[in-house]
Structure 1
Amino acid sequence: MTIGPDGFGVDDLHRIARLRHHVRLSDDSRQGIRESRRIVDGLLRDNAIVYGITTGVGDNSKIRISPEESVELQLSLVRSHASGVGDPLSLEETRAVMTMMIRNLSLGYSGIREEVVDLLLDMVNHNVVPRVPRKGSLGYLSYQAHIALVLIGEGEASVDGSLISGAEALERRGLSPVILKAKEGLSLLNGTCDMVALGGLAVHDAIVLLKSADIASAVSFEGLRGNISAFDSRIGAVKKQRGVGTTAENLRALLQGSSLAEGSSSNRVQDALSVRSIPQVHGAAKDMIRFVSSVIEDEMNSATDNPLIFVQDEMSLSSSNCHGESVAMALDMLAIALTELSSISERRTFRLTSAHHSGLPPFLSPNPGTDSGYMIPQYSAAALVSDNKRLAQPASVDSIPSAAGQEDHVSMGTSAALKSLEVVENLSQVIAIELLCACQAMEFAPDEPRGEGVAAAYGTIRETVPKLERDRPVHRDIESIRSMVLTEAVADAVEQVIDRLHTI
């Protein structure tokens, strides 16, 4: 993959961070990096007053420093800012942050030397992954500092499954550490790279889960013998929210061929809200995630260093593009949208397993009384949803002054990103539990014609997870279905027999 001036998106991040696609910089990007460095060198020669170049940083910005001291400052910045705590990020998450650092620096507004960016590229391409503690970022600085430590031959990194010193990690791949020059330590640390990286992975996964959420709801709808008139195209046409119409269209496609489509008169006049309002709730989540995705991708293509170098005007401007408020707010919204998807999914699981709501055997067990069936998977879903409700509380409304008051309002965007990833993980489990129960519900009406999409999902799941005949440990079944959801195996099977499902 080539990183250039043109747009960079969440799918690109996923391919580099997780699928380990090789990455290079375009010639245009390289030219921009060289030109911005030329401006920094000129500012140093002129002894201009420039934040982080000829001054200290944070509350130390009032203190002038010499060009020689500026070089010392860069090393001190990297070492002092590497103060994260707790368990490390996953290798994929760290690769994502490294990728966003490259993307930010590639825009040509940082004044960093090409060779420093090249070493970051080599580390990504050769899978030298620094150890980055998960906690301790207000939205920037600490994650990138731990990555930058390895660039200078310090810190720790994972290579070939072993955690070794940064110097040894580089040597093992035939790479050499860099000696940072003026502004380079600051540029490596600055920007919204960490929150955008983690948030970008969360958005990618959220979009993947949207199809499976619709599929699971359709299988549940079939098992509960719902009234399909709730998904009539005329209803979506008069609700001026895009996601409502596209979700109803998905459901009609998934249920095409079902006996439920033959007429509504034999079914109840109106289903419970968790059943009849699938388009309205899933659709709202789709609309919110579409907005969040646009915010994240706009940030991915923004220069977020401080100060910024403007080559055309041959000057540097101090700014606050490194403030991640837009991203933080958007990721809080992502957590809310995904929590609502998990909440309505669990409510359908509750109805499937409640005999007086579903008309099905208690807890979907063929042997109620002696067997508990799927009583406890619903407990698990309820616990996950309860966790999501807590995680959906916004991080972006909080701020604690830092740097002796110089940074007196921060975004908490990294916290918003971390909790969004946790909500995504919980949602994938909740959807898997709904599919587990919904497929079991269909076992009690084996001769009923099923929707083509529903039948494809059911068949794919049954290839791995057999129907429940007597009680057995089901945690492996849930994990198997979750794996099929995350790898899109269920969605792919469905889309082989019906039109492509809408997401955002």
Structure 2
Amino acid sequence: MNKVFLSGAELTTAQVLQIARCGAPVEITPTARQRLADARQLVFDLVDADYPIYGFNVGVGQNKDKKVFKQFFGEYNCNLIRSHCIGVPPYASDEDVRATMVARLNTMLTGCCGVSPEIPEMYMAMLNHGIHPLIPEKGSVGQADIGLISHIGLAIIGEGNVRMNGREMPATEAFAKVGLKPLTLGPKDGLAIVSSNALSAGACALLLEDIEELLDLSELIYAMSLEGLNGNTAPLDDRNHALRRFTGQRESARRISRYLQGSYIYEVDPKKAVHDPLSYRSTPQITGAAREMLAYTKERLEIQLNTTDDNPCLLLEDRQISPSANFDPLNWVLGVESLAIALSHVSKTACMRLIKLVTPNYTNLPRFLAPEVDVLCFATLQKTFTSLDAEIRHLCNPCSMDTFSLAGDMEDTSTNATYAVQNLRRIYRNLHIIFAIELIHATQAMEYRKKLSFGQYTGKAFQIVRKVLPFYKTDRNITQDIQTVCELLQSGELTALIRE
């Protein structure tokens, strides 16, 4: 696995996935190391400042009026870590923890937090040795994940628990196995560890990569449904989409057309309806809109991954430290919520297609795609995907404005970023199942048209599905079929086909 070099400026969501999910090692660049050293020196130069600096020589939140004396910096910063460990289970997965750590590590390298260089070095070592602190997922209002990522700090000072090689153990035990020692904290270290949106941002980075892959697959599955329907290809005509000038819409139509190249549905058929239902005609428009919201959100999130969200913020060139509200992530959280709404439209459209695909009036195929009159086939499966869609409809309701005024009325806005990302993840998981169900229906419908020629990619996809899922001849456990096709989608075989 190729090493990912971190500079504080160039981290992508794809690289977060490589580090978090595939175990790619990380390395801090020499330039970033020098920036860390320069920023730390500025912190030491400001230690004796005769004016209050938030989270540095005075407290945080409502305790901003309490002075922190130099001789108590170590004790104060450790207590800050301990008192901010307020999260509750469930605990984040190892890959989400890794994504969180690399997200925070990279923003530390901007030189704006003034953290002790030993701390980002520890993050790097823990990532490379597979030491993953236990981070609860609940307890953040999305104005920096202070109550959750503080558990990373607890591990760093040797008081928390971690997972290593699939086993939970005290951090000190894991450190001893690889030759690491707990760290002693100095001025500003505690706040630098806890004050970041790294948990929500790291998890979101992985999720956006997953959603992009699912949208790619959704267009292939739609193309197969169109063949199963014996639908019209005129709505895919690039000339129509060029006139509209929405880049996502045009890209979606182009992809679908590529998958269908050589298909029988391009042949003239006087029996074919003049127009298909909108759930078939409008798919490029709807999926294209989701693609554009995905691109918008990814662009904003990558800004999050490569800039500071620290408060206070070190202005290295000006040799100052300044109060900041850059921990407010609303810019990209709004993208997450908009993407959730877009995916709800994608889900609804897929469900509508599924209903049409088992209706003889639209397909001229058997009712519910059943091979015999005494076979129920997909008669009751509609309840599954419509219930999943109903859940998506509720999950896409925005939550970023559901806030309280906290910390003595000092913190009176927030974004619920972690909750917004968790909702988006649940939407993704439901939508993944819905597309697996559509693929089951599409291949069943295509089976009735096997004497005709399928598209260049849809035909190959049909054969891939048939290797794991036989034609539905007699009634069987459909739950198992859904699981089989979900695993196929997760395997990457179909993704590799369309990305070749």
Q: Provide TM-score, normalisation by structure 1.
A: 0.95
Partner of 1:31: 34
Distance in structure 2 (CA, Å) of the matches to 1:263 and 1:253: 19
**Match of 1:73, as an amino acid?**
Y
**Match of 1:289, as an amino acid?**
L
Which of 285, 301, 317 is equivalent to 1:296?
301
Distance in structure 1 (CA, Å) of the matches to 2:285 and 2:166: 46
Which of 117, 120, 133 is equivalent to 1:117?
120
The aligned runs of 1:380-419 (5 Å cut-off) are: 380-419=384-423
Distance in structure 1 (CA, Å) of the matches to 2:499 and 2:425: 26
Partner of 2:226: 221
Corresponding residue SS for 1:437: helix
CA contact (8 A) 1:247 1:282 kept: yes
Corresponding residue SS for 2:168: strand
CA contact (8 A) 1:385 1:426 kept: yes
CA contact (8 A) 1:84 1:136 kept: yes
**What displacement does 1:374 show?**
2.0
Partner deviation per Cα, 1:212-238 (whole Å, 9 max, x = no partner) = 010010000000011111111221122
1:340 corresponds to 2:345: yes
Distance in structure 1 (CA, Å) of the matches to 2:417 and 2:50: 35
With 167-176 and 183-192 compared, the bigger mean Cα shift is at: 167-176
Which of 147, 151, 160 is equivalent to 2:156?
151
Which of 192, 209, 233 is equivalent to 2:214?
209
1:325 corresponds to 2:330: yes
1:18 corresponds to 2:21: yes
Distance in structure 2 (CA, Å) of the matches to 1:251 and 1:468: 26
Partner of 2:487: 483
CA contact (8 A) 2:280 2:353 kept: yes
**What displacement does 1:2 show?**
0.5
1:93 corresponds to 2:93: no
Partner of 1:108: 111
1:70 corresponds to 2:67: no
Distance in structure 2 (CA, Å) of the matches to 1:244 and 1:69: 59
Partner deviation per Cα, 1:262-313 (whole Å, 9 max, x = no partner) = 2264410111011111111111111111111111111111111111112211
Partner of 2:177: 172
CA contact (8 A) 1:220 1:434 kept: yes
RMSD: 1.5
Partner of 2:85: 82
> Structure 1 regions of 5+ residues with no counterpart?
497-504
With 482-491 and 384-393 compared, the bigger mean Cα shift is at: 482-491
**What displacement does 1:355 show?**
3.3
Corresponding residue SS for 1:331: helix
**What displacement does 1:484 show?**
2.8
**What displacement does 1:143 show?**
1.9
Q: In structure 2, do the counterparts of structure 1 residues 234 and 453 end up closer, same or farther at CA, with 3 Å as the change threshold?
A: same
CA contact (8 A) 2:312 2:322 kept: yes
Q: In structure 2, do the counterparts of structure 1 residues 9 and 494 end up closer, same or farther at CA, with 3 Å as the change threshold?
A: closer
CA contact (8 A) 2:8 2:106 kept: no
Q: In structure 2, do the counterparts of structure 1 residues 87 and 74 end up closer, same or farther at CA, with 3 Å as the change threshold?
A: same
**Match of 1:467, as an amino acid?**
F
1:252 corresponds to 2:265: no
CA contact (8 A) 2:107 2:305 kept: yes
Which of 62, 71, 75 is equivalent to 1:59?
62
With 352-361 and 445-454 compared, the bigger mean Cα shift is at: 352-361
Q: In structure 2, do the counterparts of structure 1 residues 5 and 186 end up closer, same or farther at CA, with 3 Å as the change threshold?
A: closer
**What displacement does 1:480 show?**
2.7
Corresponding residue SS for 1:404: coil
Q: In structure 2, do the counterparts of structure 1 residues 39 and 353 end up closer, same or farther at CA, with 3 Å as the change threshold?
A: same
Partner of 2:291: 286
**What displacement does 1:25 show?**
0.3
Corresponding residue SS for 1:134: strand
CA contact (8 A) 1:281 1:340 kept: yes
Partner of 1:361: 366
With 275-284 and 47-56 compared, the bigger mean Cα shift is at: 47-56
Corresponding residue SS for 2:451: coil
Q: Provide TM-score, normalisation by structure 2.
A: 0.96
1:46 corresponds to 2:33: no
CA contact (8 A) 2:221 2:438 kept: yes
Corresponding residue SS for 1:45: coil
**Match of 1:457, as an amino acid?**
A
Partner of 1:378: 382
1:232 corresponds to 2:233: no
**What displacement does 1:47 show?**
4.4
Corresponding residue SS for 1:164: strand
Corresponding residue SS for 2:89: strand
CA contact (8 A) 1:274 1:344 kept: yes
**Match of 1:471, as an amino acid?**
D
**Match of 2:95, as an amino acid?**
E
Aligned residues: 495
> Structure 2 regions of 5+ residues with no counterpart?
none
**What displacement does 1:356 show?**
3.8
Partner of 1:277: 282
Distance in structure 2 (CA, Å) of the matches to 1:294 and 1:302: 13
Partner deviation per Cα, 1:239-259 (whole Å, 9 max, x = no partner) = 121112111111211111111
Distance in structure 1 (CA, Å) of the matches to 2:499 and 2:198: 35
CA contact (8 A) 2:9 2:307 kept: no
Partner of 1:135: 138
Distance in structure 1 (CA, Å) of the matches to 2:15 and 2:464: 29
Q: In structure 2, do the counterparts of structure 1 residues 270 and 189 end up closer, same or farther at CA, with 3 Å as the change threshold?
A: same
Partner of 1:8: 11
**What displacement does 1:4 show?**
1.1
**What displacement does 1:341 show?**
1.6
Partner deviation per Cα, 1:165-210 (whole Å, 9 max, x = no partner) = 2222222332111011111010000122122111111111111111
Partner of 1:500: none
Identity of aligned residues (%): 28
Distance in structure 1 (CA, Å) of the matches to 2:355 and 2:179: 57
**What displacement does 1:495 show?**
4.4
With 46-55 and 423-432 compared, the bigger mean Cα shift is at: 46-55
Distance in structure 2 (CA, Å) of the matches to 1:333 and 1:264: 40
Distance in structure 2 (CA, Å) of the matches to 1:5 and 1:130: 22
Partner deviation per Cα, 1:435-461 (whole Å, 9 max, x = no partner) = 111001111122011111110111111
1:310 corresponds to 2:307: no
1:462 corresponds to 2:466: yes
**Match of 2:318, as an amino acid?**
D
**Match of 1:390, as an amino acid?**
H
